[in-house]
């Protein structure tokens, strides 16, 4: 459970809500039943006072009521409210009784009471009921030696019923409240954690190459994290850019002296000059190859880049038509939709396609054909020429070691190998086949974005 923030928050809320509702329910039910009991006792006390007031000893010595008690329940049999008078000279049980007692008498615990003292009992009553009973001992002033017990009693069902009813209602209300609170907690956790979810989606977009930064406004608790991540992404980008610039500077620093050496060597026909010429060529190939590798290593560390294919192709075709102007090649682009994009950096895509196109233009007799499509999340670019092509053995040698297929063609001959390496780094591939035009078909596969 400690793995899920959401579960943790929900479990916390759940415990809190259930505990609060249970305690509140218990306290409220208790308070209510206490209140009902007090009210009942007050009512009984009222009836007892009335009974005491109406109780009278007739001149003939018999106990009597000056008038009937007012509550109508007292005259309905087993209505739940009763009164009774015990005692008298003979200590009779049920000397006087309410009509509601019908033919029974209340059994009063035989305790001793001081004069005027009020006692409360819970006793069995008629009709299998429990009774709440209140009694008082009086001695009429006229007959000070005779004690009378005045008793009123109420069926406890009159107490329990409203308490039960209230408890049921209370349970329902509290249940609904608890459910409402739980639902609110779920919503709150959902809303509270939404920025994190949004951030995860934004990070996913960066990883998938749909965005370069985490975008949007986040709550102030999350914003610092987002800012840190964005700074990290920018730092990454800057590092790659710096590495690239340094590689470029290194190239510049090495290649100019190489040019000078090579030019000087060609002015001369000694063995030394030949050696220098040869080694300069070798050094150049090494520099080119390792620069390309360094570039490739930096390439994919950068997250969140996507490059549309079409502008890159168009730019390179403009270059090809200049670099190979003397060849009068026809460079045809078929079916390359503007919407085709691949994951990764523009410069790397330029590097791969540039090398492939340059190679095709170098070898083509009259035409180069370019087409592209997306299959299974992979962007495949075909670059065909109508040149001599490569044999099976030459193809694997060209890709594997980056050696020249033909030492007599200008250029380093590393283009295909460099494109192959870069494509691999990107999780793509470069395949060489025979083109429909008869020459070489280079198929560059890259993850589409």
What is the contact surface with another protein in residues (CB under 8 A)? 248, 251-256, 258-264, 266, 280-281, 284, 288, 295, 315-316, 318-319, 322-323, 325-326, 346-347, 350-351, 353-355, 410
Instruction: Give the nearer residue to another protein in terms of CB position, either 168 or 256.
Output: 256
Angle at 194 between CA 190 and CA 199, to 5 degrees: 150
CB of 412 vs another protein, minimal distance in Å: 9
Nearest approach in angstroms of CB 350 to another protein is 4
Shortest distance in whole angstroms from residue 354 CB to another protein: 3
Provide DSSP, 82-100. Answer: EEEEEETTTTEEEEEE-GG
- Smallest distance, Å, CB 223 to another protein? 35
Q: How far is the CB of 275 from another protein (least distance, A)?
A: 15
Measured from the CB atom, the residue of 102 and 289 that comes closer to another protein is: 289
What DSSP state is assigned to residue 66? Answer: S
- Residue 245 or 301: the one with the smaller Cβ distance to another protein is 245
Contact 139, 145 (CB under 8 A): yes
Nearer to another protein, 79 or 416 (CB): 416
First to last CA, the chain: 36
**Distant-in-sequence, close-in-space partners of 63: CB < 8 Å, separation ≥ 6:** 55, 56, 57, 85, 88, 95, 96, 148
The two structure tokens encoding residue 175: 């249940």
DSSP state at residue 436: T
- Residue 367 phi/psi, 5-degree rounding, is -145, 155
Give the tokens for residue 161: 């019923």
Looking at the Cβ atoms of 99 and 255, the one nearer to another protein is 255
CB of 234 to another protein, least distance (A): 21
* In the block, residue with structure tokens 């220098």: 276
Contacts of 210 (CB under 8 A, 6+ apart): 304, 306, 449
Phi-psi region of 213 (alpha: psi -120 to 50; beta: other; left: phi over 0): beta
List the Cα angle 336/341/346 in 5-degree steps.
110
For another protein, which is the closer residue by CB, 220 or 270?
270
- CA triple 351-315-305, angle to 5 deg: 55
Secondary structure of the chain: what % helix, strand, coil (to 5)?
Answer: 55, 20, 25
> Least distance in Å: CB of 284 to another protein?
5
290 is written with which tokens? Answer: 């390792």
**Using CA atoms, how far apart are residues 281 and 100, in angstroms rounded to an integer?**
127
Nearest-approach distance from CB 291 to another protein, in angstroms = 8
**Measured distance CA(34)–CA(206) in Å, rounded:** 65
- Pick between residue 288 and residue 385 the one whose CB is nearest to another protein: 288
Nearer to another protein, 223 or 249 (CB): 249
- Residue whose CB is less far from another protein, 76 or 255: 255
Q: To which H or E segment does residue 443 belong?
A: strand 440-447
Name the minimum Å distance from CB 326 to another protein: 5
């Amino acid at each position: 459970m400690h793995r899920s923030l959401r579960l943790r928050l929900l479990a916390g809320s759940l415990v809190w809500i259930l505990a609060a509702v249970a305690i509140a329910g218990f306290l409220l039910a208790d308070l209510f039943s206490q209140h009902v009991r007090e009210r009942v006792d007050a009512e009984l006390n009222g009836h007892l006072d009335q009974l005491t007031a109406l109780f009278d000893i007739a001149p003939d010595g018999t106990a009597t009521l000056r008038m009937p008690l007012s509550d109508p329940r007292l005259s309905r049999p087993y209505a739940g409210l009763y009164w009774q008078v015990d005692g008298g000279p003979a200590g009779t049980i049920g000397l006087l009784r309410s009509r509601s007692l019908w033919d029974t008498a209340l059994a009063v615990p035989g305790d001793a009471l001081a004069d005027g003292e009020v006692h409360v009992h819970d006793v069995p009553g008629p009709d299998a009921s429990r009774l709440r009973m209140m009694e008082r001992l009086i001695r009429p002033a006229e007959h000070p030696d005779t004690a009378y017990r005045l008793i009123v009693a109420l069926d406890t069902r009159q107490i329990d019923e409203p308490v039960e009813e209230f408890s049921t209602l209370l349970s329902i209300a509290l249940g609904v409240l608890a459910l409402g609170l739980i639902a609110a907690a779920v919503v709150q956790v959902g809303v509270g954690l939404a920025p994190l979810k949004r951030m995860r989606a934004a990070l996913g977009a960066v990883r998938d190459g749909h965005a370069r930064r985490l975008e949007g406004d986040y709550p102030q608790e999350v914003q610092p994290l987002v800012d840190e991540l964005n700074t990290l992404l920018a730092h990454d980008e800057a590092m790659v850019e710096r590495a690239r610039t340094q590689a470029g500077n290194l190239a510049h620093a090495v290649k100019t002296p190489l040019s000078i050496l090579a030019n000087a060597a060609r002015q001369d026909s000694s063995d030394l000059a030949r050696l220098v010429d040869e080694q300069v060529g070798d050094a150049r190939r090494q520099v080119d190859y390792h620069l390309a590798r360094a570039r490739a290593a930096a390439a994919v560390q950068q997250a969140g880049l996507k490059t549309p294919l079409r502008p890159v192709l168009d730019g390179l075709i403009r270059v090809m038509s200049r670099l190979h102007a003397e060849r009068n090649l026809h460079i045809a682009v078929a079916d390359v939709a503007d919407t085709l994009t691949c994951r990764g950096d523009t410069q790397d895509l330029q590097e791969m396609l540039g090398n492939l196109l340059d190679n095709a233009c170098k070898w083509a007799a009259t035409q180069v054909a370019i087409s592209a499509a997306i299959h299974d999340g992979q962007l495949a670019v075909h670059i065909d020429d109508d040149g001599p092509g490569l044999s099976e053995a030459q193809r694997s040698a060209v890709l594997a070691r980056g050696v020249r297929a033909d030492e007599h063609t200008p250029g380093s001959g590393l283009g295909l190998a460099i494109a192959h390496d870069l494509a691999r780094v990107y999780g793509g591939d470069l395949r060489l086949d025979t083109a429909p035009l008869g020459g070489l078909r280079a198929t560059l596969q890259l993850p589409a974005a």
